[in-house]
Structure 1
Amino acid sequence: MPLLPTPARTLAPRTLVMGVVAHVDAGKTSLTERLLVAAGVLDRAGSVDAGDTQTDTMALERRRGITIRSAVATFVVDDVLVNLLDTPGHADFIAEVERALAMLDGAVLVVSAVEGVQAQTVKLHRALRRLGLPCVVFVNKCDRAGARPEDVVERVGRRLGVDVLALQEVVDAATAGVVVRPLPEAVLRSRATEVLAGHDDAVLAAFVDDRPLPAPELRRRLARATRGGLVLPVLCGSAITGAGVGELLAALPDLLPTHRPCADGPPAGSVFKIERGPAGEKLTHLVLRRGTVRVRDRLDLGHGRAERVTALALHSPGGAQPADALPAGRIARVRGLETARVGDVLGPVDRTPMRPVFSRPSLEAVVEPVEPARRGDLHAALAQLAEQDPLIEVRQDDSRGEIAVSLYGEVQKEVLGALLAEEYGVAVTFGTSSVLCVERVRRSGRAVERMGEVGNPFLATVGLRVEPAAFGAGLAFALEVERGAMPAAFFTAVEDGVRSALAAGPHGWPVPDVRVTMTHSGYAPRQSHAHQTFDKAMSSTGADFRYLTPLVLMTALLRAGSCVCEPVHRFTLEAPRVAQGAVLGVLAQLGAVPLDTGYEDGLVVVGGHVPASAVHDLRLRLPGLTSGEGSLTTGLDHLRPVLGPPPERPRIDHDPTDRETYLRTAARLAGRV
């Protein structure tokens, strides 16, 4: 019995949600196309260059030849229905990759047989390991001139720090006639035994006793080691010629974890993507893990109200098809969920919730409409784009007449400008990107405003304590008061007020990592006139808590003290060894600090820290320094205090640091004057 299976066509009682991830230009989208051909979904593979691939559906993706938004392709192999997510490869769209990873059961990590393991490859593999997601490596482009599949397989194990097991051999590499064939059975079983013996006591015992395990048993133990992240199976081929793709397809159900969907119980799933249809309607992409969702069902995604499902389009082989029901284990576009946001959870989900595995944007740029009269249209368009990508933070400064957006890099800025022009008809220009600083809380601080005391016009009591949180922890909101002490809507208003106020700390910068605890609460119960009509003048409202909370929070932050910090990126730079001196010189000029240097196949690999403000300049100068052969991958690593006087960021909200002015405005908005 061969160690690698052969595909069979049956019904699909099992499901698999898998991703294809890689460094940009490694051939992810081409591989997806070829998998769809091998699975019988497409008659021929589309071409990225020709702009006719199934998963790159946006006109901008087809024109630029890059994936910008994750897309779903569905096919059946063996007895498994596979939902495949094709993800972007460019670092500027890493947030899109993050959302896809949170949905996956496993992944195919694509590596080019020409360029080999690149910095982004290492970064993606680390993210997969942090999430506990098993993966299979596919060494692509074995037909290309300069392809070195055997060397690349060896480098995969060395650079990724995992034992690898090559399942095939490549004949006539670097030619259009490349052939991928299974290793001789005895060779493959010997190599598998040797690799697995380091992770499996039963295999080790059989190896020591010179007692070969049967192929089915060895295959089962390889699958277990793969799913545990202990071993990386490596397959090879070419997405362009199709060599090796059928073997990859056949191996997926065995090597990656599959599930038998459970239709019982309440529906449970996650929202991983939001988009807009041709008429501007909101389309929510929902991965359903358990239960069933039907048209006309009402779903509560945690926003305080249930919304009715008006239509479903089930991702199926051949594309999304209208359906009356979404069964467990499937993905569908859902209409009617107007409050849905990326990352929302439906019901109890027996999976790790979506959490960041990559850094948040560290740049910001002012965006202006070419036609000033279109400012309102620009803001509406950006709001919709931010809905699709939660890390596109939009700030509108009415006092300065500016709209600013957060960004990962200059490519994302170019793409955002093109999207605004093509999809929304709003031509824009961008200002120079600037570094997005943050504020870190120094110590614990607390404040309280009590109802009825002088200086508090609101019918509310709010006490808050703020404390520092670890880098990347985000906001943790907790209660030290009883939940039954006042209506739940008032607690929600306090938490909403906290989240809103943390967008601008004492110096105007976001405060992303902090623990906020509500220590005091109080409200005026609902009062009525003699004719039983509600008397707002004597009764607390959500607005009382919503407008009082920022004032209390800011006082607590001022007492705790905050430090303005600038982002510092961890970088990995690869360049020809002959360019090492020039590269190190530029790194020094830009304030970068090299921490480690290594050498591989004529390349120097430098890793270290670089200020976020210098990343764009480094990217611009790298091609000239390396004759176009250098590559750079960066990501937010840590924050460091700004030297000298802290920079101030203009506030765009009502400023709670100016108590008198804030109270005058907020009391009027809450109806207390």
Structure 2
Amino acid sequence: MTADPRPRRTFAVISHPDAGKSTLTEALALHAAVIQEAGAVHGKAGRKGTVSDWMEMERARGISITSAALQFEHRGTVVNLVDTPGHADFSEDTYRVLSAVDSAVMLVDAAKGLEPQTLKLFRVCAQRGLPVLTVVNKWDRPGLDPFELLDQVEQQIGLKPTPLTWPVGAAGDFHGVLDRRDGHFVRFTRTAGGATRAPEEHLTPEQAEAAVGDDWVEALEGHELLSADDADHDQASYLAGRTTPVIFASALQNFGVGQLLDLLLDVAPAPGPTPAVDGGVREPGDDFSAFVFKVQSGLDAQHRDRLAYARVCSGRFERGMVVTHAATGRPFATKYAQTVFGRDRTVVETAEPGDVIGLVNAAALKVGDTVYAGKPVRYPPITSFAPEHFATATVADTGRWKSFRRGIEQLDEEGVVQVLRSEWRGEQAPVLAAVGPMQFEVVAARLESEFRAPVRLERLGYELARTVRPDQAEEVAGLRGVEVLARRDGTLLALFPDEWRLRFVQRDHPHLELTALPAGGEVSERAAAGARR
């Protein structure tokens, strides 16, 4: 087999909940001509659900709960697009994805502007050196002034916005955009419910003024003000993470989506070197290597298989090749490898750096693992975040105990929730630890639907977790109101009911080493390594 010469673009779509991530993901696939009709997250009558939202809970609630990978070709480039959950309860899944992409598309709601989760994600992208392209979405609805939105980005994030397009018409009265690169007017035509590609008509400035009059003149004035403020796109500044290109769009109406797809191919970075644990880097042309950023099962109810999503970092993957699992040093066969498109999967024969592949039934692989061929390499692990919500789980039907135990272990390995255990509680009542309470709902739903093991969840009165040294664990466990449990990776966590109790313990027992875990808004170890590229 010869190497695939097609360039790659691998990026994540991130934002605050309900800003339109899944809708944009499907709209991009529609414009790449890999689907015929777009669905809507909220499921309008007669329309399909988005291909990236496949869990029943996602379709019922109209939100993304788990990340989903889509791969397709556009203009001779292979696009690896990863849609992520926006809800803060699932932020850990989003941060894992950010360790596996080369750039990010950040959606900002035209009416709401920057929101708390948006701010966190922007900061993580900046910390790991990910270039960010900003999309002001929902411009077909009433919203804020475009200059106000740009000011929010610059003042609250610290990235200078450099619009590549500028809206013609106020939010809610969207005619199209002024393409600031060539000065032409790109006029959009609505389609029925936005289910098909919105036609784009390119007009000269003279034709634009004749067509929309004062709205075009106002857009030109905005363009001139931006240039006077040195807000023109500079590729080097964008790649260095100092500026963020901006476009205005409506994902639901498919306005501006084609432009976004073209811009990603034109300006987004190609796969580059990946930092290793030993301080070196693996170049894309080196021996094969990949790291696992997600493990998922339940994609197909008819098959109890398990898919490990792996980002190819270097070299060329060929199905059937034997690679080494860095964590164990053991060989690992890749006979079953697939490429993914939402819930649908097809066998993949080869993959290049930047591609996301699915390794089927890879029971030995965990989130953060490295696999390689040739020269050994190991990439930094993906840090688990500090849980803030805790509950015990017990099986409702004791006859389903084995299924319950198998399901708990699987969800723990996938990172859906952290599972904590102790001799005192035993295997019958493990403690589930989560960043957000909605993770418990996902656990209960999946245990019932995939393992036929309904559970009872009982919330515990803990709010904080700190790591504790093994030689101090017994002493900490003997303190009033404190419980020590073990995580799957062997880390011992001391659980505290509140900040006050933790402070009293630290005051009365200053010799104890109680270390905080990374919080949801902090950068992971891999993110920190990525920032050193």
Answer yes or no: same fold by TM over 0.5.
yes
> For residues 89-120 of structure 1, what are the alpha-carbon distances to aligned partners after superposition, in whole Å with 9 as ceiling and x for unaligned?
00110110111010010000111001110011
Partner amino acid, structure 2, of 1:87:
T
- Choose which of 314, 326, 342 in structure 1 pairs with 2:367: 342
Indicate the residue corresponding to 2:287 in structure 1.
266
Cα shift at 1:228: 0.5
The aligned residue for residue 241 of structure 2 is 229
Match of 2:86 in 1: 89
CA contact (8 A) 2:154 2:160 kept: yes
Q: Which of 372, 375, 384 does residue 410 from structure 2 map onto?
A: 384
Q: Summarize the Cα distance change of 1:329–1:104 in structure 2 as closer, same or farther, 3 Å threshold.
A: closer
- 1:191 corresponds to which letter in structure 2? L
Deviation at 1:380, TM superposition (A): 1.3
| Alignment pair present for 1:121 and 2:142 | no
Closer, same or farther: CA 254–315 of 1 in aligned 2, 3 Å? same
Say if 2:370 and 2:379, in contact at 8 Å, map to a contact too: no
Structure 2 vs 1, CA of residues 397 and 322 (structure 1 numbering), >3 Å: closer, same or farther? same
Q: Distance in 1 between matches of 2:473 and 2:307?
A: 28
Aligned residue among 349, 356, 361 for 1:331: 356
Match of 1:417 in 2: 444
Given that residues 320 and 332 in structure 1 are in contact (C-alpha distance below 8 angstroms), is that contact kept between their aligned partners in structure 2? no
Say whether the 8 Å CA contact 1:162–1:231 is kept in structure 2: yes
Q: Matches of 2:288 and 2:475 in 1, distance apart? A: 40
Q: 1:238 aligns with which of 250, 254, 259?
A: 250
Is 1:179 the counterpart of 2:200? The answer is no
Contact 2:392 2:430 in 1 (8 A): yes
Aligned to 2:520: none
User: Aligned partners of 1:409, 1:369: CA distance in 2, in Å?
Assistant: 22
Structure 1 distance, partners of 2:473, 2:126, is 32
Give a deviation string over 1:17-40, Cα, whole Å, max 9, x none. 100000111111111111111222
Equivalent residue for 2:461, pick from 423, 434, 446: 434
Q: Using the alignment, how far apart are the partners of 2:358 and 2:175 within structure 1?
A: 40
Could you tell me which residue of structure 1 aligns to residue 304 of structure 2?
A: 280
Distance 1:96 1:502 in 2: 32
Find the residue that maps to 1:509 and give its secondary structure: strand
Which residues of 2 match residues 475-554 of structure 1 at below 5 A?
506-507=476-477, 508-509=483-484
- Asked if 1:359 corresponds to 2:385, the answer is yes
TM-score using structure 1 length? 0.59
Query: How far does the alpha carbon of each residue in 1:399-431 deviate from its partner, in whole angstroms, 9 at most, with x for none?
Result: 565222111222222222222222222222211
In 1, distance between residues paired with 2:425 and 2:437? 27
Shift of 1:223: 1.4
Q: Output the CA distance in 1 between the equivalents of 2:377 and 2:402.
A: 42
* Alignment pair present for 1:65 and 2:62: yes
Alpha-carbon distance change, 504 to 194 in structure 1, aligned in 2, over 3 angstroms: farther
In the other structure, the counterpart of 1:133 is 130
| Pair 1:322 & 2:347 matched | yes
Give 1:296's match in structure 2, choosing from 302, 320, 325.
Answer: 320
Q: How does 1:438-453 map to 2 (within 5 A)?
A: 438-439=465-466
Structure 1 gap segments, 5+ residues each: 1-10, 197-217, 442-465, 467-497, 513-549, 555-562, 569-610, 614-638, 647-673
Q: 3-state DSSP class of the match of 1:272? A: strand
Any conservation in 2 of the 1:312–1:326 contact (CA below 8 Å)? no
Superposition deviation, residue 377 in structure 1? 2.1
Counterpart check, 1:253 vs 2:265: yes
Question: Which digits, 9 at most, give the CA deviation of each residue in 1:139-165, with x for residues without a partner?
Answer: 111112345444222222222122112
Letter in 2 for 1:143: D
Identity in percent: 26
Question: Judging changes above 3 Å, is the alpha-carbon distance between structure 1 residues 511 and 502 closer, same or farther for their aligned structure 2 residues?
Answer: farther
27-36 vs 139-148, which deviates more? Answer: 139-148
- Equivalent residues in 2 for 1:143-162 (5 A)? 143-146=140-143, 148-162=145-159
Distance between the aligned counterparts of 2:376 and 2:141, measured in 1? 44
Which residue does 2:24 correspond to in 1? Answer: 31
CA RMSD between the two structures = 3.6
State the alpha-carbon separation in 2 of the partners of residues 349 and 247 from structure 1.
Answer: 41
Uncovered stretches (5+) of structure 2, i.e. residues with no partner: 184-219, 274-282, 478-482, 510-533
Mapped to 2, the partners of 1:366 and 1:322 lie a distance apart of: 39
CA distance in 2, matches of 1:567, 1:244: 49
Deviation at 1:394, TM superposition (A): 4.0
- How many residues align? The count is 441
Q: Deviations over 1:351-384 (max 9, x none)?
A: 973444x832122101122223323322211111
SS at match of 1:343: coil
Q: 1:371 aligns with which of 390, 397, 416?
A: 397
C-alpha change, 1:408 and 1:19, in structure 2 (3 Å) is: same
Structure 1 match to 2:190: none
Q: Which residue number corresponds to residue 139 of structure 2?
A: 142
Q: Name the stretch that deviates more: 337-346 or 185-194.
A: 185-194
One-letter identity of the residue aligned with 2:260: L
What CA distance in whole angstroms lies between the structure 1 residues aligned with 2:377 and 2:159? 28
Structure 1's 612 and 100: CA in aligned 2 closer, same or farther, altered over 3 A? farther
The verdict on how the C-alpha distance between 1:29 and 1:224 changes in structure 2, with shifts beyond 3 A counting, is same
In structure 1, distance between residues paired with 2:258 and 2:361: 39
Question: Equivalent residue of 1:402, what SS?
Answer: coil
Counterpart position of 2:480 = none
Cα distance in structure 2, aligned partners of 1:76 and 1:349: 32
- Which residue, out of 176, 188, 191, partners 2:226? 191
Distance, in Å, in 2 between the alignment partners of 1:91 and 1:168 is: 30
Q: Is the 8 A contact 2:392 2:459 kept in 1?
A: yes
Q: Which of 13, 28, 43 is 1:20 aligned to? A: 13
Give the distance between the partners of 1:642 and 1:397, measured in 2 at CA: 23
Separation in structure 1 between the aligned mates of residue 444 and residue 486 of structure 2, nearest angstrom: 28
Query: Which residue in 2 is equivalent to 1:8?
Result: none
